[in-house]
Amino acid sequence: MIEPKKKQRKVLLLVNLFSAANNDSARIIDGRSAAEEIKSSIAIEVSRMKESIGKVPGLAVILVGQRRDSLAYVRNKIMACHEVGFRFTIAELPESCTEDDICDALSNYNKDASIHGILVQLPLPQHFDEGKILNVLSLEKDVDGFHPLNIGNLAIQGREPLFIPCTAKGCIELLLSSDVEIVGKRAVVIGRSNIVGLPTFLLLQRHHATVSIVHAYSENPKIITREADILVAAAGVPNLVRGSWLKPGAVVLDVGINPIEDPESEHGYRLIGDVCFEEAVRIASAVTPVPGGVGPMTVAMLLLNTLEAAKRALCFT
């Protein structure tokens, strides 16, 4: 289970969240600041590990195809690894590759003792069998937390997964460090993907929220979301959640990362979330921005999981 962090970190986020309590606009939950503090702590641990045993955590990423959102996440992971002193390697495969090509890359990283964490950047192109591919991944190196045994243990009371999926873990961490009450609250997750929706649903249950999922076949989704004290939007649909979908005073976590064409942007596009931010800030009590909210925390949780995997593999305490 994730425990609340040090008081200093809580103060950092609370100042940002509640300093203008009399303002009619929602406070912004600053994922970047929270992630930077976590990365600073990780960098200290990596330095200590390198001085003590001459080794550092190693992370490998397998990227298939050229999805813009996946490319953005991978860029962030590369930068974050360099910042904290991790070894980083990437296998870039074309969308035309075979499942055997991906499984071979996974097997090679499974056997590489210098690699402590492996992730397959999801989602894969639709013609691949994600379940088959993830079954090849070593459980001890599954720092994304998507191995069937990790998800299964997350779902079963009394069991603990080796790793909790990073985005779900980051969402809960933002709530806890912002002093948002979860126990007994009504939470709604929009989206039921194996990457975000399902693990977030399971993790909110572990923290004793009353949780509902809204998906493509849900009838009257707006009625369901308007009951949510905590809303997690992870549908992958830009500006899906309008102000009319929100309960006044709700806490809104926007997991969406949707590329929109923008010729003036460095990469030719910009990223927006699943929540109409301009409307949400007038109704919610707190909301995460895109970018700068859940995304940085997802990367920070990946680094934490990789550090944990390295410590376990190297018997380092």
Residues noted as catalytic: 77, 121, 144
Q: How long, in residues, is the chain?
A: 317
CA distance 61 to 71: 11
SS3 assignment for 213-230: EECCCCCCHHHHHCCCCE
Give yes or no for a cis peptide into 123 (omega within 30° of 0): yes
